[in-house]
Amino acid sequence: MADNKTKATSASVADYIASRADAQQLADCTELTALLEKMTGQPPKMWGPSIVGFGVYRYTYESGRSGEAPLVGFAIRGRDLVVYVDAENDTQQALLAKLGKHKMGKACLYFKRLSDLDAPVFKRLIEGSIAGLRERYG
């Protein structure tokens, strides 16, 4: 079985953000970093070349594939910021409906700026994601 491509690295979070972010994204990444560090109790760490992750969980799928991933993380993708969240259950879906201007992939929450999102709803969404991952994977 192939190794996971996205692993924790010793690369600099600050260097990654500085190399990719425009002024608005820099401000939002600073705010996101503080929020996610407070929520997880873990410092930011680079995962692969482009994900800023906080905390870690170990998963094993029914297929037997296993690995590690950050509990929550974010990345700069062009003009969008992406936060990686578990938002599949009904409670999380209800929060997404109240979140504000965003797009959602399977586990990727895309938005242009933090000010487009309802801050208390965003925080509850992240809390729900972290709790769900911890419940499912320990």
User: What are the pLDDT digits (tens) for 108-122?
Assistant: 999 999 999 999 999
34-93 tens-digit pLDDT = 999 999 999 999 999 999 999 999 988 888 888 899 999 999 999 999 999 999 899 999
**Is residue 75 domain-resident?**
yes
**Is residue 1 domain-resident?**
no
Q: Is the pLDDT of residue 4 over 90?
A: no
Q: What was the pLDDT predicted at 137?
A: 87
Instruction: Give yes or no for a contact between 99 and 121, defined as CB atoms under 8 angstroms apart.
Output: yes
Q: What was the pLDDT predicted at 117?
A: 98
**Is residue 34 domain-resident?**
yes
User: pLDDT band for position 1 (50/70/90)?
Assistant: very low
**Is residue 5 domain-resident?**
no
**Is residue 121 domain-resident?**
yes
Q: What is the domain count for the chain?
A: 1
**Is residue 2 domain-resident?**
no
Whole-number Å distance between alpha carbons of 110 and 54? 18
Whole-number Å distance between alpha carbons of 27 and 52? 15
Q: What was the pLDDT predicted at 3?
A: 61
Q: What was the pLDDT predicted at 2?
A: 52
Q: What is the CATH number of the domain that holds 66?
A: 3.90.1150
Output the pTM of the full model: 0.93
Domain carrying residue 74: 13-137
Phi, psi of 24 (to 5 degrees): -65, -45
Q: What was the pLDDT predicted at 25?
A: 98
Q: What's the average model confidence in pLDDT over 87-108?
A: 95
8-26 tens-digit pLDDT = 999 999 999 999 999 999 9
**Is residue 7 domain-resident?**
no
The CA–CA distances, whole Å, from 40 to 4, 34, 85, 123 equal 23, 10, 13, 12
**Is residue 32 domain-resident?**
yes
